[in-house]
Chains A and B, each alone.
Chain A
Amino acid sequence: MSSRIPGHGGLVNSSKPLTFQFNGKELEGFQGDTLASALLANNQLLIGRSFKYHRPRGLVASGAEEPNGLVGLGEANSFEPNARATTTELFDGLVSCSQNHWPSLEFDIGYVNNYLSSLLPAGFYYKTFIHPRPAWKYIFEPIIRKSAGLGKPTKGKDPDKYEHFYAYVDVLIVGGGISGLYSAKVAAKSGARVLLIEQTPHLGGQASIDNPLIDQGSIAKWITELTKELEGMNNVTIKARTVGVGVYDHGYSLAYERLTDHELNLNGSRHRLWKIRAKQIITATGAIERPLSFANNDVPGVMLASAVRNYLTNYGVSIGDRTVVVTNNDDAYRTAISLKNAGLSVPLIIDSRPSGAGELAKTARDLGIRIENGKAISIVHGKDRVKGISLCDQVGSGTVLEEISCDAVAMSGGWSPVVHLWSHCGGKLNWDNELCAFRPDTQLPPTGVNGLACLSVVGSANGDLLIDDILRVTYEVTLRVIKELGLETNEAPLPSTKGIKENSISAVWKMPYGASTKLKSKTWLDFQNDVKVTDVELAAQEGFESVEHAKRYTTLGMATDQGKLSNINGLAILSESLHKDIPSVGTTTFRPPYSPISMGSIAGEARSELFQPIRKTPMHDWHDKHGAKWEPVGHWLRPYCYVQKGESVKQAVFREVTACRNKVGVLDASTLGKIMVRGKDSGKFLDMIYTNMMSNLKLGKCRYGLICSENGFLIDDGVVARIDENSYLCHTTSGGAENIHSMMEEWLQTEWWDFEVYVTNVTEQFSQITVVGENARRVLEKLGCSKICSDSLPFMGWVDEKVFGVDVRVYRISFSGELSFEISVPSNKGLFLWNEILSLEKEFGITPYGTEALHVMRAEKGFIMIGDETDGTVIPQDLGLDWALSKKKNDYIGKRAHQRLYMSNPERWKLVGLESTDGSVIPEGAYAIGLGENEVGQKVTIGRVTSTYYSPTLKKGIALGLVAYGPDRLGETIQFPTLTNSVVEAKIVSPIFYDPDGFKQNV
């Protein structure tokens, strides 16, 4: 059984016990424990169930690479699924639970899959569930969906806070092991600004476990002193609990800091996403030990040799009382030696190499440990935990030589450099036969904006495993990096070390080499996704020869660990099956993030009211107080209507329309886009921007204009006013102001840079109030306007007036068909003027109206709305706006496009009015059907509804739509099927439903 050993564990404080929960059980750990080490100390070896076969699984690793130890953490809306027990710091009151089992961790019904495993090979869901076809939708898919995934997320709103953080430094160092720390010292001594980040809470890395001699002293002392020295330098920042998750184009780096996860009820943001610009990046991300592939290598109690050593040295926890060590390299001997020195039993070291290990083997032998060279594990015995192993020769098919009883197995398949960050940004890899691993190809590093290396790699991440090499290369690389920054130093001399020379690793991708199918079908490559040696072999056999295809077919290397343990072993099996060498098979692409980060950290502060800015007019608060039902228009909020007491939204709209048609309505039109175009070439410029002529517009006059894209499609419309000889004010749609302003700038800067024209977006500088209705003129006169009679201010004209001492500009334009004035006033006087107008409410029967009444009235008049009648494929000719396309001009944006053949195709759908024969409102977006069917058996469509309303004025449903040959078919009836399978019949009519002669706007 796994247990705590008193007197061991450098990181735990045994005088500070903590209480925590796992699956409802109260357990005890120590300050400094991880959740993983605390569970192991309580003999909780079984921690979860595997994804596909629901096999019992225990911890395999002790760090970020852990594939099995995924738990649910916390409670209620702070609950977090798939958290790694190995990277979760223990605190008093921690609540955790295991995942992926039913009804319980110890007894899981899903384990039946284990016995059905021959029916569930790689890609089984592509093969097994094909027939009968309907069964997929109703039986197979719902069951598979239910069993897919690991932990379940919470459904409530996340109560925690998250933040983004920006950092600009000279050198970013990722990884706080000895190479990262030493590199930081060399860089910092040169005067560079250094940020060092470390994913765990502690600095020192693997060396602090293995304890090599440095400068004739202990490494622990060296690490402590160096850390203290760095912390004392004001050009150095060290951040623990911060993992480098990605390096992007031009060296942009992301890091993820966990601020409050290690204590209960800490205040402040929970996670912080760092966005880092460093002139140079050094990754010292270490290496990850690989498992060995032997039968039943997933039984709880089989663990990486380095993890066994880590739990013992840092946390004082033993995985078992009798541990068999199995390896293809020298490093695992350290585990055997540590265990033996702690008084635990190591019955055997199994070394697959016929010649065995170097100096470390001698040490082990001197301690009395039995070593078998050239041997292997044939199979591990036990179900919920290891009971023993069968010894066999590494050559051969696994014939058992000897049965050895044990309760733990420490395995080592060699070390893979963590090359993720190097690869994210384009660094290339080389296969190193000596090391049996991919290591960075320093000739092809990731490059920055100037085409030179922006990222370098040191330590075991570079493939250096001997401390002497690690520190020497770190020194050389860091000096080169700071030289790039124009810096140098000789104040951080290389420490003296003497590492223990090791014999070469041997490539052992299968144990034994000739393992039978029976053994291979129990040999796990990817613990998290339940991928076995036979699955990868099957993928190769079925033609999934590319490593990327094999990954997706078998799911090898997917999910939350992204194959940190399994990738190299998996592709070695693939290359063996394909009879190719490993470099020619290659690796799958490394993509960020290196390890999972919370969704909350990505969102940061951008949530709720901070999600996006809201634009408010000066009258916003007035609207809010008077019952405005809000409608978003771009980033603006506009009143849809003003709901009075006891009234429905629908009734409010009817009331507002009726008031405008019979008395006076006022609208806050401040959101209308306003772009001032000035300069001696303004007229010439606007003649290119608008489809119609603007240069001949008279002073004091307005003209409705259309803007098309170069493609010919209608993108915006609005009224242009000629202000003086060299200036025009262009009104755009509320949502289009920024786009049109930007379009004008683009043409001016990049095509017609010889034009003397200046464009300014003045949308927010002016409030605009529309006064609509028969009594509108009387309202303005009452306000003090004196130049607005029909002679001095005819339709489509403007005048300057003074109202209560405020300069205003009055445009006589109409989007409602009524007599209508738009009063423009500096924004700081917008609310003042609005209040003044509404103070006349009783006298003239003034009613404020919202956007819906505006829409209904413009539809009654057949005026188009950008975004309703247009959708990016509609040209002015489709909307009967040919009159606005100048024939006099040689050119305008969109003119050449309008000459394309398809633009004059008579079959193009054209604007008409539609009236349902029963007076009902035709459903929005409905399509009209014609006779016959298309090539896929659907009914032919001949038109669609673009706007549809109930008209309170005409007391019936009215609609605008685009219909094939529409204008030639006035009076005909067409059919609109609805979503409820009924059909609405509609008559094609003129799009102008109300006051076709324009009498009312001319009173």
Chain B
Amino acid sequence: MLLLNCPYCNLSCEETEFQAGGQAHLKRQSVGSSDQEFESYLFARKNPKGVHFERWQHVNGCGKWFHIARSTVTLEIFGSYSAQTLSPPKQIRVNINKKLPEWRWESSK
């Protein structure tokens, strides 16, 4: 069971207090998008061996959505941050690079 830090409550809580919402930083595709863009938005998800950005909601707590950066290999969590952003903040990227110097942020289309 993961331990997640809710950035709004600033508390470390058990996974059962949260619900997972899948990959973070997806860009919504709607009217005007091509079939391929729309399909990718609806269904195509990354499955990296390494750093993954995820959406979580503190559903049995404050109710807020937020993002985390997590290693799918070691389950290490590099930090949590507001969902109201288009890319991971600098501090999160620094945290990741401390462990994985080669890693670079690539925004998803």
Contact = CB atoms under 8 A, between A and B. Distances in A.
Nearest to B27: A751
B1 A750 contact: no
A267 interface: no
A447 B74 contact: yes
Given A746-B21, A751-B28, A250 B57 contact: no
Contact of B31 (A250, A711, A896): A896
B21 to A, nearest CB: 7
Interface string A737-748: 000001001100
A753 B99 CA distance: 32
Interface string B45-69: 0000000000101010001110000
Nearest to B85: A753
A891 B74 contact: no
Interface string A437-456: 00000000001111100000
B108 to A, nearest CB: 15
A367 B30 CA distance: 89
Q: Which of A277, A711, A750, A900 is most buried by chain B, counting CB atoms within 10 A of its CB?
A: A750
Interface in A713-759: 742, 745-746, 749-751, 753
Interface string A891-934: 10001110110000000000000000000000000000000000
Contact of B84 (A711, A750, A895, A897): A750
A604 interface: no
Contacts of A450: 76-77
A897 B28 CA distance: 12
Contacts, number: 68
A891 B57 CA distance: 26
B65 A250 contact: no
Nearest to B55: A750
A899 B39 CA distance: 12
Nearest to A748: B65
B31 A895 contact: yes
A167 B17 CA distance: 17
Contacts of A449: 2-3, 12, 75-77
Nearest to B64: A749
B33 interface: yes
A592 B33 CA distance: 47
A624 interface: no
B29 interface: yes
Contacts of A249: 1-2, 15, 75
Nearest to B37: A896
A252 B12 CA distance: 13
A432 interface: no
A248 interface: yes
Interface residues of B, number: 29
B55 to A, nearest CB: 7
Contact of A746 (B35, B57, B76): B57
A749 B71 contact: no
Interface string B87-104: 000000000000100000
B37 to A, nearest CB: 10
Interface in A227-274: 248-250, 252
Given A447-B74, A749-B64, A750-B84, A250 B30 contact: no
Contact of A250 (B3, B21, B83): B3
A896 B65 contact: no
Given A250-B1, A891-B30, A891-B31, A750 B83 contact: yes
A900 B84 contact: no
Contact of A750 (B33, B65, B76): B65
Contacts of A746: 21, 57, 65
B44 to A, nearest CB: 14
Contacts of A451: 71, 74, 76, 99
Contacts of A447: 74-76
Interface in A873-898: 890-891, 895-897
A426 interface: yes
Contacts of A751: 28
29 contacts: A248-B1, A249-B75, A250-B3, A250-B75, A252-B14, A426-B74, A447-B74, A447-B75, A448-B3, A449-B3, A450-B76, A451-B74, A451-B76, A451-B99, A711-B42, A745-B63, A745-B65, A746-B57, A746-B65, A749-B65, A749-B84, A750-B21, A750-B65, A751-B28, A753-B83, A890-B31, A891-B31, A897-B42, A900-B35
Nearest first, the 8 A-B pairs at minimum CB distance are A451-B76, A252-B1, A753-B84, A749-B65, A896-B30, A449-B3, A250-B3, A750-B83
Given A749-B83, A891-B31, A896-B38, 18 more contacts: A249-B1, A250-B2, A252-B3, A447-B76, A448-B3, A450-B76, A451-B74, A710-B42, A711-B42, A742-B59, A745-B63, A746-B21, A753-B84, A895-B30, A896-B30, A896-B31, A897-B42, A900-B38
